[in-house]
Amino acid sequence: MTGIRLEGIVKRYGTAAAARIDRLEIGDGEIVSLLGPSGCGKTTTLRIVAGLIEQDEGDLWFGDRLVNDVPPERRNAAMVFQNYALFPHMTVRQNIAFGLEVRRRPRAEIDRKIDAVLELVKLPGTGDRLPKQLSGGQQQRIAIARALATEPDVLLFDEPLSNLDAKLREYMRFELRKLLESLKITTLYVTHDQAEAMVVSDRIVVMDKGAIIQVDTPHRVYRDPASRFVAEFVGTASFLEGRIESWDAAAGRGTVSLADGLSLAGRGHGLKPGDAAVLCVRPEAISLLPPDQSGPGDHAGSVDAVVDLGEVIDYHVRLGGWTLRTRTIAGPRPGGPGDRVAVRLDPERCYVVAG
């Protein structure tokens, strides 16, 4: 039973802090993702947990065991890399056996475990192949099987799906989530792909410039972003800048007055009248209607551009001095480029953050 706790962890390269984690706790059996743009410190943090990099400051706990000075091979953590890192001259069985042989497990046990993990990743019967005789997705599954064979307390993934093509990557997210859910092994998962983090994780840690910005369930990271950075990084949104006009702190909602005179409602917290604020309007907050179907509270706008993506249609809509982006399931069109439309905003899906 092993949760992970990072306390006051700092790693510097020169004077710059590559990672600065004040506190992060990953529950026993929990799947947590580190999500953020390139260079924000995800790999650095993961490697500190693995023991491949030593932190300059702070404590790392596996359960109630302080592991600061425990070498990687004695942390009982297994890591899966983006490039699979399979030994090319060894068969699948030999690849999986490697970690078990290093640990001097009996042959019969090794064979049994290889069969079990190959079954788990749904690749029984590939044991005698070389990695090059497998597809990229299959190789990645073997890398996962190899990690699982040693029965680690902690699983660490660094962008494990990034080398796969888009379709397979999307499929593998769901497969990996199912597998991890069934294993109940504490997992730290690094990705810069927000959709992947949403599918795979119980909780997401959003990072920027080495620090944690928000830790929440995927649902809350999307629906209750802590800042414009989070709203921008997770999902898409249009950002309208202004000031808080009125605010009901208890209800966590209010209105933002925008520079062009528009006043729009949204949800948020920690704000008060007069504060600089940004209204983050998610695509699904916006409905477009022909002008003759306009209702109370709707705004007059016009269609700027229509992008037909097949199953969905993207609209760029002018509203006051702003361009909003929305998306509809392909169907009857409210209007084409240049047409006037009624813009209806759902304040439950507009999020107000500090400006």
Binding site for ligand ATP (CB under 6 A): 13, 18, 36, 38-44, 192
* 300 close to 288: Cβ distance less than 8 angstroms: no
Q: Which residues contact 237 (CB under 8 A, 6 or more apart)?
A: 231, 280, 281, 282, 283, 351
- Pick what 13 binds: ligand ATP, Mg ion, none; C-beta below 5 to 8 Å, kind-dependent: ligand ATP
Distance of closest approach, residue 11 Cβ to ligand ATP, in angstroms: 8
- Pick what 96 binds: Mg ion, ligand ATP, none; C-beta below 5 to 8 Å, kind-dependent: none
Distance of closest approach, residue 41 Cβ to ligand ATP, in angstroms: 4
User: By C-beta, is 13 or 87 nearer to ligand ATP?
Assistant: 13
Q: Which residues contact 331 (CB under 8 A, 6 or more apart)?
A: none
Distance of closest approach, residue 213 Cβ to Mg ion, in angstroms: 17
Q: Give the residue closest to Mg ion by C-beta.
A: 43
Q: Which residues contact 170 (CB under 8 A, 6 or more apart)?
A: 195
User: By C-beta, is 79 or 244 nearer to ligand ATP?
Assistant: 79
| Concatenated DSSP letters of 40-80 | SSHHHHHHHHHTSS--SEEEEEETTEE-TTS-GGGTTEEEE
Q: Which residues contact 228 (CB under 8 A, 6 or more apart)?
A: 239, 278, 280, 353, 355
User: By C-beta, is 158 or 224 nearer to ligand ATP?
Assistant: 158
Amino acid present at 328: T
User: By C-beta, is 36 or 334 nearer to ligand ATP?
Assistant: 36
Which residues would be at the binding site for Mg ion (CB under 5 A)?
Answer: 43
Distance of closest approach, residue 82 Cβ to ligand ATP, in angstroms: 9
- Pick what 44 binds: Mg ion, ligand ATP, none; C-beta below 5 to 8 Å, kind-dependent: ligand ATP
- Pick what 39 binds: ligand ATP, Mg ion, none; C-beta below 5 to 8 Å, kind-dependent: ligand ATP
User: By C-beta, is 38 or 182 nearer to Mg ion?
Assistant: 38
* 36 close to 30: Cβ distance less than 8 angstroms: no
Distance of closest approach, residue 12 Cβ to Mg ion, in angstroms: 17
* 322 close to 237: Cβ distance less than 8 angstroms: no
Spatial separation of the C-alpha atoms in residues 161 and 60, rounded to whole Å = 27
- Pick what 160 binds: Mg ion, ligand ATP, none; C-beta below 5 to 8 Å, kind-dependent: none
- Pick what 99 binds: Mg ion, ligand ATP, none; C-beta below 5 to 8 Å, kind-dependent: none
User: By C-beta, is 17 or 199 nearer to ligand ATP?
Assistant: 17
* 318 close to 302: Cβ distance less than 8 angstroms: yes
Please tell me whether residue 81 adopts helix, strand or coil conformation: coil
Spatial separation of the C-alpha atoms in residues 112 and 149, rounded to whole Å = 10
Spatial separation of the C-alpha atoms in residues 233 and 225, rounded to whole Å = 10
CA 120 to chain CA mean position, Å: 24
Distance of closest approach, residue 79 Cβ to ligand ATP, in angstroms: 13
Distance of closest approach, residue 50 Cβ to ligand ATP, in angstroms: 12
Q: Which residues contact 270 (CB under 8 A, 6 or more apart)?
A: 354
User: By C-beta, is 192 or 325 nearer to ligand ATP?
Assistant: 192
Spatial separation of the C-alpha atoms in residues 182 and 199, rounded to whole Å = 15
User: By C-beta, is 179 or 211 nearer to ligand ATP?
Assistant: 211
Distance of closest approach, residue 17 Cβ to ligand ATP, in angstroms: 9
